[in-house]
Amino acid sequence: MRPMSPLVTESLERHFTVHRGDKVEDKERFLDEVGPKIRGMAVSHVHVNDALLDRLPKLEIVANFGVGYDTIDAAACGRRGVIVTNTPDVLTDEVADLAVGLLLATVRQIPQVDRYLRQGKWLEKPYPLTGTLRGRKVGILGLGRIGRAIAHRLVAFGLPIAYHGRTKQADVPYEYFPSLLEMAKACDVLMVVAPGGPETKNIVGREVLEALGPQGVLVNVARGTLVDEDALAAALADGTIQSAGLDVFAEEPKVPDALIAQEHAVLLPHVGSASVHTRNAMGQLVVDNLTSWFQGNGPVTPVAETPWKA
């Protein structure tokens, strides 16, 4: 329904009859004509809900390009017996690498320092001293695959790690906080790596930001909807927290002007997994899920809500 990488489209066209919704102007007519024939979907940032599912009565599987699948109503798919898959693991290291890079860029003001040099200001005087990672404690919101990979990297920096999630995990050595607010009070870096969706919308709001304090740093590589962007812009403007590094936004590709205006915010256009290597691996996993399913071998990486029993 939207453009996907050549690796995905070309591979699928070798195995299946592919109907390209991204190539047509009249999507409604397209769905009227081919919807009743569709048995599988390869999607990226496509809203799959009851309204769309009603148009696809023979649908068996939705293969999502990405580990996050909050645009897909997996529960609605499950009620209809439709498999949903995503692309976990293959992007874990790439996103974790970028998250740590974003933290460093934010605390040490790397983009700002680069601009300072390019503008010739170093000729006039040295750049002001920046913040540091030394003496900081990092709280991770969402200790899943990516959260664990981030924690592993930050331990090598000598930083103490805490985490908040639905349940305490027995196989990790990090301090657990059952309350996000209490974790924010105990930390001065908050890494957001939790899933998006209605349950986590604006979970990082004014109260959590105030708990981080004036030395606080927020890094979000999950979904923009987890952070109250108005509250964040205000917190940056009035010094409630020190800085923020964001790779995701609530209404991408739109970024609030109030965030763009903050000099000490480092803003990236959702590039966490955007390397050739990783995007190819993600695309291949989309193809593998569809080919495996239609060969009768089941899905490769079904999501938790999907009605599949190996």
pLDDT digits 0-9 by tens, 17-74: 999 999 999 999 999 999 999 999 999 999 999 999 999 999 999 999 999 999 999 9
Dist. CA 301–CA 294, nearest whole Å: 14
**What's the whole-number mean pLDDT along residues 140-151?**
97
Residue linked to tokens 């390869």: 42
- Residue in 184, 198, 142, 186 with CA at minimum distance from that of residue 165: 142
- Report yes or no on whether pTM surpasses 0.75: yes
Which domains occur in the chain, in start order? 6-86+275-295 (3.40.50.720), 92-267 (3.40.50.720)
Active site residue: 148, 223, 264, 279, which one? 223
Q: Are 203 and 224 in contact (CB under 8 A)?
A: no
Catalytic choice (28, 252, 263, 277):
252
Structure confidence at residue 310 (pLDDT)? 64
Secondary structure class of 279 (helix, strand, coil) = helix
Q: Which of 191, 194, 226, 192 is nearest to 68 (CA)?
A: 194
Task: Judge whether 252 counts as a catalytic residue.
Answer: yes
Do the beta carbons of residue 170 and residue 147 sit within 8 Å? Answer: no
Query: Among this protein's residues, is 223 annotated catalytic?
Result: yes
Pairing between strand 265-267 and 243-246? parallel
pLDDT in tens, 223-254: 999 999 999 999 999 999 999 999 999 999 99
* Beta-carbon contacts of residue 234 (< 8 Å; ≥ 6 apart): 206, 240, 258
Distance CA 51, CA 79 (A): 14
Annotated catalytic residue 80: no
Instruction: Report the distance separating Cα 83 and Cα 302, nearest Å.
Output: 7
